């Protein structure tokens, strides 16, 4: 069964460093998302991406964040200058099209900012 994959599973970085989290969505899916979950808190929406552009973003997704689909398969989240409060699980999700509402999630990347 097709699944969303994410790399790395765990990323440790120093505050102020740039990180890139990678995702490979399910191949025939058209909508892509990033969510995050800070330890003990809700899963929160960060950004949605469709047709090579951001379709919606939350207030969390400030200028330090960017997303890209550099080729036909990868979907990346970049954090330019990490802060301690960026430590969280980051989940990538995808879905087939606008009329289909079920989003399928990857296993997540645990980001630890020291």
Partner 1 sequence: DQQVKQNSPSLSVQEGRISILNCDYTNSMFDYFLWYKKYPAEGPTFLISISSIKDKNEDGRFTVFLNKSAKHLSLHIVPSQPGDSAVYFCAAFSQGAQKLVFGQGTRLTINP
Residues forming contacts to partner 1 in the complex (CB under 8 A) are 4, 6, 31, 33, 35, 41-45, 48, 50, 55-56, 58, 91, 93, 98, 101-108
Pick from 59, 76, 62, 64: which is nearest to 17 by CA?
Answer: 64
Q: Which residues contact 77 (CB under 8 A, 6 or more apart)?
A: 20, 21, 23, 34, 46, 47, 65, 66, 67, 90, 92
Q: Is 73 helix (H, G, I), strand (E, B) or coil?
A: coil
Residue nearer to partner 1 on the CB measure, 68 or 97: 97
Considering the complex, state which of residue 13 and residue 43 has its C-beta at the smaller distance from partner 1.
Answer: 43
- Which is nearer to partner 1, 50 or 65 (by Cβ)? 50
- Shortest distance, CB of residue 52 to partner 1, whole angstroms? 15
């Amino acid at each position: 069964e097709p699944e969303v994959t994410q790399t790395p599973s765990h990323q440790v970085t120093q505050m102020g460093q740039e990180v890139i989290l990678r995702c490979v969505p399910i191949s025939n899916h058209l909508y892509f998302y990033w969510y995050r979950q800070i330890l003990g808190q809700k899963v929160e929406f960060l950004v949605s991406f469709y047709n090579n552009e951001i379709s919606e973003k939350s207030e969390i997704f400030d200028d330090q964040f960017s997303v890209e689909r550099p080729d036909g398969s990868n979907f990346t989240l970049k954090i330019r200058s990490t802060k301690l409060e960026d430590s969280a699980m980051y989940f990538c999700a995808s879905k087939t099209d606008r009329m289909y509402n079920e989003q399928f999630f990857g296993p997540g990347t645990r980001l630890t900012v020291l």
